[in-house]
Structure 1
């Protein structure tokens, strides 16, 4: 995949059909806290009520077509030093390095957009090896496994915590 065709941009209501490719697929949402979208109306509501007002949620695009999302959720108060990252893309785009590129693009911007944030962290289902590889390729450090940490789709899961500090270096593309 040509990295110049991959962009991050704010969501638009016109992304409704495209968001169905990712968020209406159980294979994509099985590792997300959010439930699978089941209709075009739910997709539109998701864009209007979740994506657009979010402090930093971007559409991952290939040739300006939305294929997924990436979000940075900054902490507040005494937790303003850290933020959480999350992402998902449509199954047809898995394994092509797109998510890794999107995470690197987000890293190059997040510490500018949120100057109080010095730590970006991700919680990943311990069974989700693909997401762990994305984070490692983007320069995140695997910190620990937390056992039976959170319910995901009704099942108590082990999670792996990853971090990237504002002083860390984003790896160059090979």
Structure 2
């Protein structure tokens, strides 16, 4: 008689929380991965001291930076950057996730969580935008699956690793259909 085996990949619990100083080791574990860095504006952090400095000066004081946790373990982060003072009605979102967690739907779940939270918390917000490298179709799919609308290609929009890069602009408007989050 065959034994029933537990599922090999049980559905993980995905949560968001404010980043903490204790996230340093997790940040170091995935933030230097070249597969992640290829699409980020910042380069690799040289050592743990530089990572600690980045955490304390850029991540912890950020107005909306959350640790992406899978089963209570930080495996990435997501930031919402408020627009400039002359455009307070908009904000931008960016995210990064440890390579071992790519392709599992985690980024889509997290984006849906953040969109709902941000539009609820920031009543003045009309537009949330995101850009994805034209050579990063996986991130483009994440944004589309999370309800963002593709607006077009912005040519030579970002300087990334010494090269001008084309980016795809996406947006989610407060007037768009509400996101239904079902994790």
What TM-score comes out, normalization by structure 2 length? 0.89
Task: Sort the Cα spacing of 1:172 and 1:17 in 2 relative to 1 into closer, same or farther, 3 A.
Answer: closer
Query: Conserved in 2, the CA contact under 8 Å of 1:146 and 1:159?
Result: yes
1:88-111: CA deviations, max 9, x gaps? 000010000111111111011001
Checking the alignment, whether the CA contact within 8 Å between 1:73 and 1:85 is kept in structure 2 is: yes
Measured after TM superposition, the shift of residue 173 of structure 1 is 5.1
1:108 maps onto 2:108 in alignment: no
Q: Deviations over 1:68-126 (max 9, x none)?
A: 00000011332101000000000010000111111111011001222211100011111
Moved more, 17-26 or 163-172: 163-172
Query: How is 1:1-20 mapped onto 2 (pairs within 5 angstroms)?
Result: 2=11, 5-20=13-28
Say how many residue pairs are matched: 173
Report whether the alignment pairs 1:49 with 2:60. Answer: no
Q: Separation in 2 of the partners of 1:149 and 1:112?
A: 30
The ranges of structure 1 where at least 4 consecutive aligned residues each deviate by more than 2 angstroms after the TM superposition are 171-174
Q: Distance in 2 between matches of 1:55 and 1:2?
A: 30
Instruction: Name 2:83's counterpart in structure 1.
Output: 75
1:123 counterpart residue number: 131
Contact 1:82-1:117 within 8 A present in 2 as well: yes
Of the three residues 4, 22, 25, the one matched with 2:30 is 22
Instruction: Extract unaligned runs of 5+ from structure 2.
Output: 1-9
Instruction: Output the CA distance in 2 between the equivalents of 1:123 and 1:80.
Output: 18
Pick aligned residue for 2:179 from 146, 167, 170 = 170
- Runs of 5+ consecutive residues of structure 1 not aligned to the other structure: none
Cα-Cα RMSD: 1.6
Find the structure with the greater CA-based Rg.
Answer: 2
**CA contact 2:112–2:181 (8 Å) conserved in 1:** no
> Following the alignment from structure 2 to structure 1, what is the Cα–Cα distance between the partners of residues 135 and 108?
18
2:32·2:45 contact (CA, 8 Å) conserved in 1?
A: yes
Q: Which structure is higher in helix share? A: 1
